[in-house]
């Protein structure tokens, strides 16, 4: 850490010198323009950046299927605006995987391809991406998926179960977008100013989006079980429905707390959500008692459903913890 004494020049202008080593590393010299970004009692300084696309190149030789998908998503989330995927010869299977992956990422499009490379570009900028809108949409989709997955199970509705699994792509798409914007905020303070959120709020939204993404995953698991299970007996069905309603209520209450502007109200909501999480274990045990007498394989699969609902409630509790931290007084 270095310190500098603030000087007053001309009677009204405050000036401070920049560390030479830092200025040299960042190509700052006489006549350079720097940008300031105030965050409450802090002031962030960065060299003015030219408006240019951040480009990255990835060798995809030997990458197929899920491994190639993860590589493309990683480049996207890392913040590259232009991504060049290259190898000695791009196979038809690789092109298919790249196009399917691109369709699942907000703003990313194929802008050029040859036999040796595929070029992708993010056609949106940060000012067009709202983390607030993204997590609000994730909340709606994830909780609706959870409700529909249980409905598919209780009503033996295979079409609804398949539809739930397809909707997980929407949650994953939004999660990747939130991760991309969050990393951009960490890397460049101008992004936070552009999207109108401070970095702590971006962190809170990113953490909560991760919990919602996990709820979507567990809704998909329940839907998968629903495709192979028969509708459970009435008592077990009622107990599972009650557990789903309680889990969904915890998630909704926690998200209300996270998005609430009034710190006192947010704290009350978050504490209520956390208290309700403690009752989930007891409720889950009562469901287990209802399914214990069923045929072993059916009981085992329904036990996995109960576990997914319990975990979803826990994720809501995690969002509530984040909401409490967001609402707490700043040091």
The greatest distance separating any two alpha carbons of the chain, rounded to the nearest whole angstrom, comes to 86
Asked if residue 244 and residue 136 are part of one domain, the reply reads yes
pLDDT reported for residue 210: 97
For residue 11, being part of any structural domain is answered with yes
Kindly list the strands in the beta sheet with 108-113, ordered across the sheet, starting from the edge strand earlier in the chain.
55-59, 82-86, 117-122, 108-113
Strands (E), 197-331: none
Asked if residue 247 and residue 131 are part of one domain, the reply reads yes
pLDDT reported for residue 49: 63
Asked if residue 206 and residue 85 are part of one domain, the reply reads no
End-of-domain residue from the set 83, 101, 122: 122
Torsion sign over Cα 188, 190, 191, 196:
positive
For residue 193, being part of any structural domain is answered with yes
pTM, entire model = 0.83
Asked if residue 229 and residue 88 are part of one domain, the reply reads no
Residue of 222, 228, 243, 232 whose CA lies nearest to 142: 222
We report the CATH number of the domain holding residue 96 as 3.30.110
Torsion sign over Cα 264, 265, 270, 273:
positive
Residue of 281, 267, 285, 284 whose CA lies nearest to 322: 267
Tell me the residue range of the domain where 78 lies. Answer: 55-122
pLDDT reported for residue 128: 64
Asked if residue 77 and residue 32 are part of one domain, the reply reads no
Asked if residue 251 and residue 140 are part of one domain, the reply reads yes
CA dihedral 304, 217, 147, 245 (to 10 degrees): 60
End-of-domain residue from the set 104, 122, 140: 122
Per-residue pLDDT of the chain (331 residues; tens, 9 = 90+): 667 777 677 667 767 777 767 777 777 776 667 666 666 666 676 676 655 678 899 999 989 999 999 999 999 999 898 999 999 999 999 999 999 999 999 889 999 999 999 999 988 765 567 899 999 999 999 999 999 999 999 999 999 999 999 999 999 999 999 999 999 888 877 777 778 888 899 999 999 999 999 999 999 999 999 988 888 888 888 989 999 999 999 999 999 999 999 999 999 999 999 999 988 988 888 888 888 878 888 888 899 999 999 999 999 999 999 999 999 987 7
For residue 1, being part of any structural domain is answered with no
For residue 202, being part of any structural domain is answered with yes
Asked if residue 110 and residue 246 are part of one domain, the reply reads no
Strands (E), the chain: 7-9, 13-15, 34-39, 42-47, 55-59, 82-86, 108-113, 117-122
pLDDT reported for residue 19: 79
For residue 26, being part of any structural domain is answered with yes
Asked if residue 281 and residue 229 are part of one domain, the reply reads yes
End-of-domain residue from the set 122, 138, 168: 122
Cβ contacts of 271 within 8 Å, gap of 6 or more? 320, 324
For residue 101, being part of any structural domain is answered with yes
Asked if residue 137 and residue 250 are part of one domain, the reply reads yes
Cβ contacts of 278 within 8 Å, gap of 6 or more? none
Asked if residue 279 and residue 258 are part of one domain, the reply reads yes
> What pLDDT, in 10s, does the model give residues 148-177?
999 999 999 999 999 999 999 999 999 999
Q: What's the number of CA atoms in the CB half-sphere (13 Å) around residue 133?
A: 8
Q: Cα–Cα distance between 153 and 229 in angstroms, integer?
A: 7
pLDDT reported for residue 164: 95
For residue 81, being part of any structural domain is answered with yes
Q: Which residue has the tokens 């329940």?
A: 222
Number of domains in the chain: 3
Q: Cα–Cα distance between 163 and 146 in angstroms, integer?
A: 12
Asked if residue 270 and residue 194 are part of one domain, the reply reads yes
Pairing mode of beta strands 55-59, 82-86: parallel
We report the CATH number of the domain holding residue 245 as 1.20.58.220
Asked if residue 76 and residue 141 are part of one domain, the reply reads no
For residue 2, being part of any structural domain is answered with no
């Amino acid at each position: 850490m270095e310190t500098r004494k603030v000087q007053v020049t001309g009677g009204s202008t405050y000036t401070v010198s920049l560390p030479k080593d830092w200025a040299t590393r960042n190509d700052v010299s006489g006549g350079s323009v720097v940008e300031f970004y105030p965050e409450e009692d802090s002031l962030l300084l960065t060299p003015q950046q030219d408006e240019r696309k951040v480009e990255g190149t990835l060798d995809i030789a030997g990458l197929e299927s899920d491994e190639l998908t993860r590589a493309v998503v990683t480049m996207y989330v890392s913040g590259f605006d232009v991504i060049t995927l290259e190898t000695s010869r791009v196979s038809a299977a690789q092109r298919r995987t790249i196009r399917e992956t691109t369709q699942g990422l907000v703003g990313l499009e194929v802008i050029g391809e040859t036999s040796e490379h595929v070029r992708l570009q993010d056609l949106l900028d940060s000012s067009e991406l709202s983390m607030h809108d993204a997590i609000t949409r994730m909340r709606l989709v994830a909780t609706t998926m959870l409700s529909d997955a249980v409905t598919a199970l209780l009503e033996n509705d295979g079409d609804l179960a398949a539809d739930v699994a397809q909707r997980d792509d929407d949650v994953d798409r939004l999660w990747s977008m939130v991760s991309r914007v969050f990393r951009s905020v960490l890397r460049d303070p101008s992004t936070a100013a552009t999207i109108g959120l401070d970095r702590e709020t971006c962190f809170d939204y990113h953490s909560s989006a991760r919990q919602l993404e996990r709820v979507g995953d567990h809704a998909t698991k329940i839907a998968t079980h629903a495709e192979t299970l028969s509708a459970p007996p009435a008592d077990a069905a009622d107990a599972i429905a009650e557990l789903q309603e309680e889990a969904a209520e915890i998630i909704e209450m926690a998200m209300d707390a996270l998005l609430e502007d009034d710190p006192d109200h947010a704290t009350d909501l978050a504490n209520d959500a956390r208290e309700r999480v403690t009752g989930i274990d007891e409720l889950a045990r009562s469901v287990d008692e209802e399914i214990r007498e069923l045929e072993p394989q059916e009981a085992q699969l329904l036990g996995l459903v109960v576990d997914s609902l319990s975990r979803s409630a826990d994720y809501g509790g995690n969002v509530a913890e984040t909401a409490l931290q967001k609402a707490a007084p700043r040091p």
